[in-house]
Structure 1
Amino acid sequence: MIGLSNIVKRFGDNTVIRDVSVDIREGSVTALVGPSGGGKSTLLRCINLLEIPTSGTVRVGDDAIEFKPGARASTKAIQKLRRQTGMVFQNFQLFPHRTAIENVMEGLVTVLKWPEAKARERAAALLEKVGMAHKADAWPATLSGGQQQRVAIARALAPSPKVLLCDEPTSALDPELAQEVVDVLGQLASEGTTMVMATHDLRLASKIAQKVVFLEAGSIVEEGSASEVFGNPRHQRTRRFIASITHQHGEGSGGEG
């Protein structure tokens, strides 16, 4: 469904992704975890080409683009691949001058040229799905962070992407607001939405990911099922990382492990 093959990403002399290959099955949820600066958000952004890999191949569905140093992929090919993905950002990125429902409709009307009535119907159904139908006409500034993120999830789903990409979807939120977002993403996962998320929220990753990829210093240290990687990690570096995160979030989490 999605394949990253031998992805390398350099910023100048700094190599942030080192020859990483990951396959993502349709209908599965994959969590990219690891320390800050380990490369998880950059790798996620290579899937929808918000970051253009220095070299390697990105495949989404039937479309694949091979990148080589010094050669540019065509804008048309990049856009075709990007249109098959939906993106949820850490800081929501809603349009402040559009209501919740207008935010969800925006891409359908402007990019896909849907008629307004059809776009509104689709947007209303998605707001219902994420539990935000009652706030359809609210401005983003009047919504909590958790509510804004749920609207952003609806917006990302609007064009029916093949895969939903989530870049630290809960990290800007208080734990109780993060829970609303975890619940919505969990519901989407149970319906078979293909998802890839970069996250350091172990609760999110362990609750909904089937596969966990632990990245450090731009390389994959370990990958496996959530229960294997979190419950019985093979590598010392993975164990250290999980211990540090569990310790940070241990206070006041009600003892969930």
Structure 2
Amino acid sequence: MIAVENIHKSFNGAEVLKGVSLTVPEGSVTALIGPSGSGKSTLLRCVNLLETPQSGRVRIDGAVVDFEPGRKVDRADVLALRRKTGMVFQNFQLFPHLTALENVMEGLLTVLKWSRQDARRRATELLDKVGMSDKADAWPANLSGGQQQRVAIARALAPSPKVLLCDEPTSALDPQLAGEVVEVLAQLAREGTTMLMATHDLRLASTIASNVLFLDGGNIVESGPSAQVFGSPVDPRTKRFVSSLASVSIGQG
């Protein structure tokens, strides 16, 4: 389970997150939606501490890190929490000098110190899982955006994290390639992978998210089951945003 409590985060004096709290139950998928600048990507990065909150608490499974102004956080606690997460980025962030297989193996070898044989076996299994086994020896430059993102998902899953964090995983892709990634993430959701994702992609959020949180101005404005938030949102800001997303999706279809 992920529990984020009263997270505050500012950049250069501008408060981006204003005391945000949320819970992601184990085995569920929660989507963070909202306009650009609403704080959803910052919130996601605070969960695995790529960004350090000024105050609040982050808990993943048994790992807990508390933040207070002026108090230095123990690096061991940060690493313990971060190891429970896998991160999928908008721009893939594959190592260009490594093959698809080597990209998935890299963290297992360098961080977890697995043997090369075990890391290769695990990476091969995961590339098969995301439909990329036939591209194991390909360089990232020779893969489409959708293929690169599927390799990135396999890499994030390699250490068996407690939660998969996805930051706009389809936004750099055209609708057809995005569909490949949506299907992979949907399959992971069906298998019970816990996920927290920030997305503008209505198809992605409505297909796989069990719960949706709408952020605006650094606050959670509305939250609830996916069908409720997309089908009958209560807050006027959510209604406007969902309507704008739906019109874009129709235009792309």
Deviation at 1:186, TM superposition (A): 0.1
Cα RMSD (Å): 0.6
Deviation at 1:76, TM superposition (A): 1.1
Contact 2:38 2:218 (C-alpha < 8 Å) held by counterparts: yes
Match of 2:86 in 1: 86
Deviation at 1:75, TM superposition (A): 1.1
Query: Could you say what secondary structure the match of 1:251 adopts?
Result: helix
AA aligned opposite 2:111? V
Distance 2:72 2:200 in 1: 33
Distance 1:106 1:44 in 2: 23
Query: Could you say what secondary structure the match of 2:122 adopts?
Result: helix
Distance 1:191 1:71 in 2: 40
Distance 2:248 2:107 in 1: 38
Distance 1:126 1:32 in 2: 26
Contact 2:58 2:65 (C-alpha < 8 Å) held by counterparts: yes
Match of 1:109 in 2: 109
Match of 1:147 in 2: 147
Alpha-carbon deviations, 1:77-119, whole Å to 9, x = none?
1011001100000000000000000000000001000000100
AA aligned opposite 2:137? D
Distance 2:252 2:201 in 1: 15
Deviation at 1:249, TM superposition (A): 2.7
Contact 2:206 2:230 (C-alpha < 8 Å) held by counterparts: yes
TM-score by length of 1: 0.97
Deviation at 1:38, TM superposition (A): 0.2
**Unaligned ranges ≥5, structure 2:** none
Runs of 4+ in 1 over 3 A off after TM superposition: none
AA aligned opposite 2:61? G
Match of 2:187 in 1: 187
Contact 2:17 2:43 (C-alpha < 8 Å) held by counterparts: yes
Match of 1:205 in 2: 205
* Identity of matched residues, %: 65
Deviation at 1:198, TM superposition (A): 0.3
Q: What pairs with 1:40-59 in structure 2 (closer than 5 Å)? A: 40-59=40-59
Distance 1:231 1:220 in 2: 18
Deviation at 1:243, TM superposition (A): 1.1
Distance 1:99 1:123 in 2: 11
Distance 1:211 1:60 in 2: 18
Query: Could you say what secondary structure the match of 1:127 adopts?
Result: helix
Alpha-carbon deviations, 1:198-229, whole Å to 9, x = none?
00101000000000000000000000011000
Deviation at 1:250, TM superposition (A): 2.0
**Unaligned ranges ≥5, structure 1:** none
